[in-house]
A and B are shown apart, each in its own frame.
Chain A
Amino acid sequence: MESSRRNFMKIGGACALGLGALPIVKAYAKNEKPQVAPDSKALVATKWAMVIDMKKCWEKGKPGCKDCLLACHSVHNVPEIKTIKEEIKWIWNEQYEHAFPGQENHFLPEEIRQKPFIVLCNHCTNPPCVRVCPTKATFKRKDGITMMDYHRCIGCRYCMAGCPYGARSFNFRDPRPYIQTELNMTYPTRERGVVEKCSFCDERLAVGLLPACVEACKCGALCFGDIEDPNSEVRKLLASRFTIRRKPELGTQPSVYYIV
């Protein structure tokens, strides 16, 4: 076979490229997943859901109470970045017209129009954020929790464009200097360049604790449980009270319900 240095270089280059691509082939071919034994105290569910009784919150809670928000943000080392543009929010307050846009009218009771609604990630059954993520950095757990892998996220922010609820925050800057609460050493802080959001306290469920917001609420306005279990507290509430969800017309099937 006649060959030249030029051809030799070409073939050599192609081989090097092939060898370089080997890890990718392995990644595609990989099948088994790492196994981790669950904690025996862990709270488990077929599908986690939350029912928020806003009436209870407004009537029984002290005015301007932010216990649930503060508990969450301190447990998860959520930084307090004061600019509207770069705020990091896991759970926060919105007015009715912002939480439920398109459903407001001029004649709603003053209470509904003025009082704060608690909003957080809805852990949708059909989450658009999971559908669009190009690396599976955000994914759906078997128990219904929409999770984030901060170590895999490439920061493309496609999930933020996908989320209909504005539940996702991007770390535009290094968040660590902005953590105002006492650092919780058992929960990781985030780096700049990744997206973060509420995780239904997966880390607390794993050791048998309820989500921080649920635990912090002194008037029991937040109810958390297995929506697939007919005897669970959330199911009883859903069966006995009228509830609404945010933007139900989009078909995302939020797992957070509101009693108003």
Chain B
Amino acid sequence: MLERALTGDQKYYRWITALLILMGLGFAAYLVQLNKGLTITGMSRDVSWGFYIAQFTFLVGVAASAVMVVLPYYLHDVKVFGRITILGEFLAVASVTMCLLFIVVDLGKPMRLLNVLLYPTPNSILFWDMIVLNGYLFLNILIGWNVLEAERKGVHYPNWVKPLIYLSIPWAVSIHTVTAFLYAGLPARHYWLTAIMAARFLASAFASGPALLILLAFLVKRYTRFDPGREAIDKLSQIVTYAMIISVFFVGLEFFTAFYSRIPSHMHALQYLFVGLEGHRNLVPFMWLFAILAIVALVLLINPSTRKNDRTLKIACAAVFFSMWLEKGLGLVVAGFIPNPFDQVREYTPSILELMIALGVWATGFFVLTILYKIAASVKEEVA
């Protein structure tokens, strides 16, 4: 089926070329990092994880796109999702690919990566994250590919795929939970040390993943002859609505606990994010943008008439995706390090090279996504 990715119209080639150029630039920047070390990033001994790990954390959430169509389709027989499960699964493949790449570019010694396998350490959450992320990647490749291939041949997919589909549902929950546990179990990082971290990850994932999926479904409809179906988009938008409400509610819970208890260490990170701490306010505009976008998204989503209108739904989904990106892909990781263990505020700003590498990884993800969606759409056009 891969050959379908090789043929396309001029627009398709232009898009692929643009992505390849970005990937090339990112790779060149990565070679500089490989040569000079992580000194080329904005990270420090105080904020020792930055943009890379934040992107990784956010993208684990986007991978939830798969489970949010697979679960209703296979467990609740929501037939309208039948047409788009493949889009959800392939989006998960692309996001998990980006996640893994972001981990690799963040390592100080990437050539020693396999030490994680050679010296397996079950007490480390990172070890389990490696297992669940790779497992989820393979599950979605296997399931997506086999189901699509069967569809092309006009037959039912092989029976051994079914248990894997069921397995992929709890597995999706595990990737968010384990990724949240990376943060939620560290004794002196007060912003992360919260029991609802995993719940927050799940809620924001179920908002941002399907939101991107809706936007992609509109794009697929526009650029191919495959129509994912208005009903499927309707159902997805309901899921995004509920998930977004819960997400914002959870952020509110964090505020209550911190500011009603008035324990300084619990308040510091939130203060840093939203009003600034000791005169340091790098992230304040971004977090207010998050708040505004979240409210815009909620208004557009909760109101049925704007949710059912294509134009406003697109705006709402973009607002969900971008606001969750600001919250998780920017604020959450960095604020965990502020203030540092010495109660000092040391801020973090990503460097240009760091952003270029991140852009290269995003381009790689969208390259994978484009190839997979091209194949899926071609097969769907063929059998339609």
Contact yes or no, B107 A156, CB < 8 A: yes
Q: Is B127 an interface residue (CB 8 A)?
A: yes
A61 at the interface (CB under 8 A from B): no
Contact of B254 with A by CB under 8 A: no
Minimum distance in angstroms from A92 CB to a CB of chain B: 11
Q: CB of B350 within 8 A of chain A? A: no
- In the complex, which residues 313-358 of chain B have their Cβ closer than 8 Å to any Cβ of chain A? 336-337, 340-344, 346
Q: Assuming the A-B contacts A163-B341, A171-B37, are A133 and B115 also in contact, with contact meaning beta carbons closer than 8 angstroms in the complex?
A: no
Given contacts A156-B126, A173-B36, contact A102 B121 (CB under 8 A): no
Give bound CA distance, A160 to B116, whole Å: 17
User: Is B226 engaged at the interface, CB distance under 8 Å to the other chain?
Assistant: no
Q: Produce 1/0 per residue, B106-147, CB < 8 A to A.
A: 111110110111111101111100100000000000000000
Bits for A124-161, please: 1 = Cβ < 8 Å to B, else 0.
00001001111111000000000000001111111011
Majority SS at the chain A contact face: loop
Chain B residues with CB under 8 Å of A193's CB are 37-38, 107-109
Stretch at the interface among A39-47, A234-242, A245-253: A245-253
Residues on the A chain within 8 Å of B109, using CB: 153-155, 191, 193-194
Give CA–CA (A235, B115) in the complex, Å.
40
Task: Return the CB mask of B12-56 against A: 1 if under 8 Å, else 0.
Answer: 000000000000000000000000111101011110110000000
Point out the residues of chain B lying under 8 angstroms from A192, CB to CB. Answer: 37, 39, 108
Q: A166-B340, A170-B108, A171-B108 are in contact. Are A135 and B119 (CB under 8 A)?
A: yes
Instruction: Please name the residue on chain B nearest to A129 by beta carbon.
Output: B186
CB neighbours of B238 from chain A (8 A): none
A-B contact pairs, 5 of them (CB 8 A): A27-B120, A156-B107, A161-B337, A164-B187, A191-B109
The reply to whether the CB of A94 lies closer than 8 angstroms to some CB of chain B is yes
Residues on the B chain within 8 Å of A131, using CB: 123-124
A97 at the B interface (CB under 8 A): yes
Across the interface, do B44 and A84 meet the contact criterion of CB distance under 8 Å?
yes
Asked if A174 is an interface residue, CB under 8 A from chain B, the answer is yes
| CA of A84 to CA of B44, assembled, Å | 8
Docked-complex contact A170 and B340, CB < 8 angstroms: no
Cα(A194)–Cα(B342), bound, Å:
22
- Tell yes or no: B189 within 8 A of A by CB: yes
Q: B117 touching A24 by the CB < 8 A rule?
A: yes
Q: What separation, in Å, do the CA atoms of A23 and B114 have in the docked complex?
A: 11
Q: Is B285 an interface residue (CB 8 A)?
A: no
Residues of A within 8 A of B187 (CB): 128, 162, 164, 250-252
**What is the bound-complex CA distance between A229 and B119, given in angstroms?**
34
Number of A-B contacts (CB under 8 A): 149
In the bound complex, residues from chain A placing their C-beta under 8 Å from that of B123 are 131
Cα distance, A8 to B182, chains bound together (Å): 42
- Most A CB contacts (10 A, CB to CB) among B109, B116, B127, B343 go to B109
A157→B37 contact, CB < 8 A: no
Interface residues of A, count at CB 8 A:
53
Complex Cα distance A174/B125, Å? Answer: 29
Contact at A98–B38, with CB atoms within 8 Å? Answer: no
Q: Are B48 and A85 in contact (CB under 8 A)?
A: no
* Shortest Cβ gap from A188 to chain B (Å): 15
Q: Are B44 and A153 in contact (CB under 8 A)?
A: no
7 closest Cβ pairs, A-B complex: A155-B108, A193-B108, A164-B188, A85-B44, A101-B343, A166-B341, A98-B342
A136 to B182, CA, bound (A): 16
Q: How far is the CA of A97 from the CA of B117 in the complex (A)?
A: 41
- Say yes or no for A78: interface residue by CB 8 A criterion: no
B264 within 8 Å of A (CB atoms): yes
Closest to A156 in B: B107
From B48, B116, B265, B342, name the one whose CB has the most chain A CB atoms within 10 angstroms. Answer: B48
Q: What residues of chain A lie closer than 8 Å to B185, measured between beta carbons?
A: 132
Q: Closest B-chain residue to A155, C-beta based?
A: B108
- Point out the residues of chain A lying under 8 angstroms from B344, CB to CB: 98
Provide the residues of chain A in CB contact with B126, threshold 8 Å: 132, 134, 156, 158
**Interface check A212, CB cutoff 8 A:** no
Per-residue contact bits, chain A 97-137, to B (CB 8 Å; 1 contact, 0 not): 11101100000000000000000000000001001111111
Given contacts A155-B109, A170-B108, A171-B108, contact A85 B46 (CB under 8 A): yes
Interface string of A62-87 (1 = CB under 8 A from B): 00000000000000000000001111
What is the distance, in angstroms, from B332's C-beta to the closest C-beta of chain A? 13
Contacting pair B39 A135 (CB below 8 A):
no
Q: Which residues of chain A are within 8 angstroms of B265 by Cβ–Cβ distance?
A: 102
Expressed in whole angstroms, the minimum distance between the Cβ of A101 and any Cβ of chain B is 4
Residues from chain B with a CB closer than 8 A to the CB of A24 are: 117-118
- B341 in contact with A165 (CB, 8 Å): yes
Residue of chain B at shortest CB distance from A88: B45
